[in-house]
Amino acid sequence: MINEDYLANIRPTHRQLEWQKMEMYAFIHFGMNTMTDREWGEGHEDPSLFNPDRVDVDQWMRALVSAGMTGVILTCKHHDGFCLWPSAYTTHTVASSPWREGRGDLVREVSDSAARHGLKFGIYLSPWDMTEQTYGQGQPYNDFYFNQLVELLTHYGPVFSVWLDGACGEGPNGKVQAYDWQRIYDTVRALAPEAVISVCGPDVRWCGNEAGSVRANEWSVVPASLREAERTAENSQKVDDGEFSRQVASADEDLGSREALADYDGPLAWYPAEVNTSTRKGWFHHEAEDTQVRGVDELFSIWLGSVGGNATFLLNVPPNRHGLLADADVEVLAQLGARIADFRSRRIEAEREDDEVVTLRFAANERVSAVVLEEDIARGQRIDEAIICALTEAGEESEIARVHSVGYRRIVTLPSPVEARVLRIAVVASRRGFHLADAYAVRA
């Protein structure tokens, strides 16, 4: 049986706390694949193909801000190996392209624009590289990757995330590269100590799919073995078949409940989840998908399930071959921001009484559509089960919801609005007590 004192006192680092507070931020997939209308390139593409004629990164940032996003992660180098900055360690970069007459640096433009618009900046540097000749040679490629990582961490200002993709499509007869993960982690810690290392990294856990699907109960305290990069890579995309982005596996639905850990006697870690998906089926822009951009209802639902389910929401918005976000993406981002702002504006003011049961008293009968619970995760994730009951003015009490995890935030959306004057929240199972940072109701 697991030691409950141990379970209750696993806590996030400062960098993980600051990352969790960001809640929703953007992915920008842009590069050679945008020009060739591909998801995965083949490597060695002619740099002359990269020549977007109307790049406007400020347009990108304005759209992200309109959605209420707090940061942006750029695919500085995707699997094809083409670099969006003039790396000193390869000629397969924007410096060999006609864009900006070979003097362009898209990483610089995005980093600077993000700062101007109040957004944090993150980098995606694909471990898999189809072009670099040292890939598969062990130490030489690890040195190459280290040098490019150092360039990105030292020349472009503060970085909030280093996003390490586990995808690799080399196949059984392809090149096999043993990545030096520890060297990568040590480099990030030395040069960007406040940056989280995500996915194939020890700070932020991939939710396990690219469809935007979320677990019914998401736990941040999980077996430390989940942080093994090789395990994440094994579950990542292997084939560019156009299907992976919408697949949802049912395995590992419960990672950290008391029941899931009952027979576990290994080390635990604070390893919170990030939900990543795209506004469209593809990660890179394809003109054919301009009429298939996800609607605001679907994106808002993903926001509710991720930011409202103890995870963060990383939403990809891909610019087109001209270097602009398509109108459909810009419009839905603004709609999403408005929907989130409206949800937050409907918080019901209440008198809160904390005892063994948390009580919310409204000034008058209210029509409640959701209840929001937030733990003080700086002190751990401790709530195992909570029951929410509504009391009418006539004194009738009824259970309206029951949850089995809370964490940073749990948005409990009710199947239908409930009329109530008082809400009572009873934590009936916890890990050595609990610490609620906030609890409130949302008006229908």
Q: What is the pLDDT of residues 314-323, one digit of tens each?
A: 999 999 999 9
pLDDT higher than threshold 90 for residue 25:
yes
Q: Which of 303, 324, 345 is the last residue of a domain?
A: 345
User: In the prediction, which pLDDT does 208 show?
Assistant: 87
User: In the prediction, which pLDDT does 245 show?
Assistant: 43
In tens, the pLDDT along 170-218 reads 988 899 999 999 999 999 999 999 999 999 999 999 998 888 888 999 9
C-alpha–C-alpha distance, residues 200 and 203, integer Å = 9
C-alpha–C-alpha distance, residues 296 and 66, integer Å = 13
Assign residue 19 the CATH number of its domain.
3.20.20.80
Reported confidence tier of residue 296, pLDDT bands at 50, 70, 90: very high
Q: Which of 345, 374, 399 is the last residue of a domain?
A: 345
pLDDT higher than threshold 80 for residue 242:
no
pLDDT higher than threshold 60 for residue 379:
yes
C-alpha–C-alpha distance, residues 136 and 375, integer Å = 45
Asked whether residue 397 falls in the same domain as residue 296, the answer is no
Q: How many domains does the chain have?
A: 2
User: In the prediction, which pLDDT does 113 show?
Assistant: 98
Asked whether residue 238 falls in the same domain as residue 151, the answer is yes
User: In the prediction, which pLDDT does 235 show?
Assistant: 73
Q: Which of 345, 367, 393 is the last residue of a domain?
A: 345
Asked whether residue 12 falls in the same domain as residue 88, the answer is yes
Asked whether residue 294 falls in the same domain as residue 370, the answer is no
User: In the prediction, which pLDDT does 239 show?
Assistant: 59
CB 226 within 8 A of CB 205: yes
Q: Name the pTM for this structure.
A: 0.95
Asked whether residue 245 falls in the same domain as residue 378, the answer is no
Asked whether residue 30 falls in the same domain as residue 96, the answer is yes
User: In the prediction, which pLDDT does 83 show?
Assistant: 98
C-alpha–C-alpha distance, residues 154 and 174, integer Å = 33
Asked whether residue 376 falls in the same domain as residue 329, the answer is no
CA angle 78, 81, 84 (to 5 degrees): 70
User: Which residues does residue 316 pair with via DSSP β-bridges, in sequence order?
Assistant: 27, 278
Reported confidence tier of residue 70, pLDDT bands at 50, 70, 90: very high
pLDDT higher than threshold 80 for residue 162:
yes
User: In the prediction, which pLDDT does 248 show?
Assistant: 37
Q: 301-321: buried (b, 16+ CB within 10 Å) or exposed (e) per residue? A: bbbbbbbbbbbbbbbbbbbbb
Average pLDDT over residues 282-301: 97
User: In the prediction, which pLDDT does 246 show?
Assistant: 41
Question: Which stretch of 5-14, 225-234, 236-245 has the lowest confidence by average pLDDT?
Answer: 236-245
User: In the prediction, which pLDDT does 224 show?
Assistant: 94
CB 203 within 8 A of CB 197: yes
User: Which residues does residue 222 pair with via DSSP β-bridges, in sequence order?
Assistant: 269
Reported confidence tier of residue 244, pLDDT bands at 50, 70, 90: very low
C-alpha–C-alpha distance, residues 237 and 246, integer Å = 12
Contacts 24+ apart (CB under 8 A), 81-86: 81/43, 81/44, 81/126, 81/129, 81/130, 81/131, 81/132, 82/31, 82/32, 82/41, 82/45, 82/47, 82/50, 82/131, 83/148, 84/30, 84/31, 85/151, 85/152, 85/155, 85/156
Residue 237: count other Cβ atoms within 10 Å of its Cβ: 20
Asked whether residue 231 falls in the same domain as residue 326, the answer is yes
Asked whether residue 328 falls in the same domain as residue 437, the answer is no
C-alpha–C-alpha distance, residues 92 and 49, integer Å = 12
Reported confidence tier of residue 97, pLDDT bands at 50, 70, 90: very high
3-class SS of residue 416:
strand
User: In the prediction, which pLDDT does 237 show?
Assistant: 56
CB 392 within 8 A of CB 334: no
Asked whether residue 276 falls in the same domain as residue 404, the answer is no
pLDDT higher than threshold 60 for residue 251:
no
In tens, the pLDDT along 330-351 reads 999 999 999 999 999 999 999 9
3-class SS of residue 313:
strand
- Structural domain including 399 reads 351-443
User: In the prediction, which pLDDT does 138 show?
Assistant: 97
Residue 354: CA atoms inside 13 Å, Cβ hemisphere, count?
A: 7
C-alpha–C-alpha distance, residues 288 and 37, integer Å = 10
Asked whether residue 303 falls in the same domain as residue 418, the answer is no
Average pLDDT over residues 410-425: 97
Asked whether residue 332 falls in the same domain as residue 387, the answer is no
Assign residue 435 the CATH number of its domain.
2.60.120.260
Query: Taking all residues of the chain, what is their mean pLDDT, rounded to a whole number?
Result: 94
C-alpha–C-alpha distance, residues 256 and 123, integer Å = 29
User: Which residues does residue 375 pair with via DSSP β-bridges, in sequence order?
Assistant: 436
Contacts 24+ apart (CB under 8 A), 172-175: 174/136, 175/135, 175/136
Residue 358: count other Cβ atoms within 10 Å of its Cβ: 19
Strand 436-443, strand 357-375: pairing: antiparallel
